[in-house]
Amino acid sequence: MTMKNYCWALIDAINEEMARDPDVFLAGEDVAAAGGAFGGSRGLLAAHGPLRVRDTPISEEVIVGLGVGAAMTGKRPIVEIMFMDFFGLCMDQIVNQAAKMHYLYQGAFKMPMVIRTMTAVEMGIGPHHSQSLEAWVGHVPGLKVVMPSTPRDAKGLMKSAIRDDNPVVFIENLALHKIKEDIEDEEFLIPLGKADIKRAGRDVTVVATGLMVHKALAAAEILSQEGIEIEVIDPRTISPLDVDTIVASVRKTNRALVVTSAHKPFGLASEVAAQIMDHAFYDLDVPVARLTPPFTPQPFGKGFEAFLHPDKASIVAAVRELMA
């Protein structure tokens, strides 16, 4: 076992996969010489050379397009869009090209590409760098969407994403870059589409993603002292969503709360709530609750984020309300 932070766990994953498969390459803004805008690709240029680790112009549409064309012609590209907020610049390549190629041409082309991107929610960098936009891509058939919350999950999921024959949007969380975890030295994969029960409990199912997983776990400690045991489920992959694990938990607890950094309307919290209605309505003792920031852009100034985003106090309060 070796203690790794989230950022290095991802570097390790990419490094291992590049060593394993010569078709894997990495391209994006500042990924090569600089080692990544946030250090997420340190050492890869030296290890794999300038053709396979390549800085691109600031041209998001062609960065993704590069990946699409390379994937269609036998490569396994990892293309990096520095922040998910920049997806507006490349959505055509993601939604109309990458996501549909396998379907449209009935499998004649595989699309083994990873679109590596990041949310910097609650990092205090304002309205164009802090958004949680996973719903944009979760809504598109043909895409897979991963958003890990721990170093081990990040590593195992990145390796699976690189080996997957579908376009995978891999959303890192900058706020989690420094968290550490013991990770086995032996190779391992974590399958896409499988949720993880981060804490078992009998009273309330709490589905949380990214940063909110950690807030939910902190809330669980407090609630446990009150005798309320919440079960914290991290879907890890939001598309395809592991509905079975969530539903099995709700069948046990009869109560559910979904906590996300993304907004309610048309978002993951709403999707999870709807899946619970579809599959476990007659196991619900109270309505499914959603805890998210209010429907506003993310302002910059100090204090705005703390005010807008769910925290352990609001999670505790929401759970207490479910238990009333």
Distance CA 216, CA 96 (A): 36
Residue 116 engages other proteins in binding (rule: CB under 8 A): no
Residues 121-150 that bind other proteins (CB under 8 A): 141-142, 144, 150
CB of 202 to other proteins, least distance (A): 10
CB of 164 to other proteins, least distance (A): 8
Of 8-16, 34-42, 128-136, 282-290, the segment contacting other proteins by CB under 8 A is 282-290
Residue 281 engages other proteins in binding (rule: CB under 8 A): yes
268-281 per-residue burial string, b: 16 or more CB within 10 A, e: under 16: bbbbbbebbeebbe
CB of 214 to other proteins, least distance (A): 4
Distance CA 243, CA 194 (A): 9
Residue 302 engages other proteins in binding (rule: CB under 8 A): no
Active-site hit among 48, 102, 128, 129: 129
Residue 101 engages other proteins in binding (rule: CB under 8 A): yes
Distance CA 49, CA 135 (A): 35
Residues 36-65 that bind other proteins (CB under 8 A): 51-52, 54, 56-57, 59, 61-62, 64-65
Among 1, 185, 186, 282, binds other proteins (CB under 8 A): 282
Residues 183-202 that bind other proteins (CB under 8 A): none
Residues 211-240 that bind other proteins (CB under 8 A): 211, 214-215, 217-219, 221-222, 224-227
Closest by CA to 84, choosing from 119, 49, 59, 115, is 119
CB of 249 to other proteins, least distance (A): 14
Annotated active-site positions, please? 129
